[in-house]
Amino acid sequence: MKRKMRFCLMKLCRLLCLTLSFPLHVMEAVGLYGVYKRLFPLLAYNITFSYNDKMHKTKRELFRNVAKFAADDGSLRLLEIGCGSGANFKFYPDGCTVVCTDPNPHFEGFLRRSMKENTHLTYEQFTVLSGENLRTVQDESVDVVVCTLVLCSVSSVHHVLQEARRVLRTGGAFYFLEHVVSDPSSWTYFFQYVFEPLWYYLGDGCTITRATWKDLEAAGFSELHLRHIEAPEVTLMIRPHIMGYSIK
């Protein structure tokens, strides 16, 4: 009985959120949502400082072995899908060459700031590309691909992972850190399900009920090193995370 009541309450609350988000849906349909896309990089840039502080230890652990995927001559070419404002740069090894891509061109100004702050890296030109179509990146041309807090907002996780496999050389690695859906019996899932319609627009297309680990398991990598974690001190709805790397 309690489970049924909880289910009904969850459906009712989601309907309320859908109603509240209807004006945002209309704005997107008529093209006005593009104004928010211009403002979103500023919001994301400021949030990055807080998220990196809380996730510093986790990111340090995630990227600690990136250097082992360097080419035979010692060089390391890393492609970041959805680089945003460059929040991961300080965790990359010295001398690494970073290829920056993001579908939102308005991140470029903030990206330049991060580049100036992280002079231990070499950067190739920023390119506006979606993760589903890395058309300017050649096959097997990078040693490492990084994707953090991006797979929640792409239109096709499957296509992004296939593109990552295409551009990685054999033996290269795909690193990920993503928030994911919680256990359906948890209160975290309750709030994820209820607030997802609003979160989608406020998070520039972010979906908070994706079981992204299933896509990684089915992507065809030769090895998958994946852990489920609870991110410390972050908003309840994005606390469940997965982290790790896959090897081509």
Give the residue carrying structure tokens 């606390």.
239
List pLDDT tens digits, range 196-244. 999 999 898 999 999 999 999 999 999 999 999 999 888 889 999 999 9
**Tell me, what's the pLDDT at 247?**
98
Per-domain boundaries in the chain:
1-247
* Pick among 3.60.20.10, 3.40.50.150, 3.30.9.60, 3.20.20.330: CATH of 1-247: 3.40.50.150
* 76-92: pLDDT as tens digits: 999 999 999 999 999 99
Q: d(Cα 67, Cα 120) in Å, to the nearest integer?
A: 14
State the pTM of this model: 0.94
* Amino acid 1: pLDDT: 65
Residue numbers in the chain where pLDDT is lower than 70: 1
Element housing 6 (H / E): helix 2-29
Q: Tokens 């004006």 map to which residue?
A: 23
> Can you tell me the distance from the alpha carbon of 162 to that of 168, in angstroms, rounded to the nearest whole number?
10
Task: Determine the pLDDT at residue 30.
Answer: 86
